Amino acid sequence: DIQMTQSPSSLSASVGDRVTITCRASQGISNSLAWYQQKPGKAPNLLLYGASRLERGVPSRFSGSGSGTDYTLTISSLQPEDFAIYFCQQNYHTPLTFGGGTKVEIK
């Protein structure tokens, strides 16, 4: 199974901050990576797919990059509605696996 390791597991940031979340796969996944945002009591919401492609309707302050085993989600200027948990997921090989999540909290 491909293990997805996300870091940090939590972070505190202020509105307007630049935030970076990292996801490392236990083997290369050829950009088969998606990022999701989840708010309490809600289903996850797709932000990016193919490592860097922005889902329709998602604000452009979200961006993704990476290759091979290492991937990054960046929020360029954190907004109040961005405080949530973020998950990465690899779609390269079954079983599909998720990172453990990063909780973004208000500083």
Q: Does residue 34 belong to the site contacting another protein (CB under 8 A)?
A: yes
The window from 15-23, 45-53, 70-78 that contacts another protein (CB under 8 A) reads 45-53
Q: Does residue 63 belong to the site contacting another protein (CB under 8 A)?
A: no
- Close Cβ partners of 56 (under 8 Å, ≥ 6 residues apart): none
Q: Does residue 95 belong to the site contacting another protein (CB under 8 A)?
A: yes
Parallel/antiparallel/unpaired status of strands 70-75 and 53-54: unpaired
Cα–Cα dist 99/23, whole Å: 7
| Binding-site ranges for another protein (CB under 8 A) | 30-34, 36, 42-46, 49-51, 53, 55, 87, 89, 91-92, 94-101
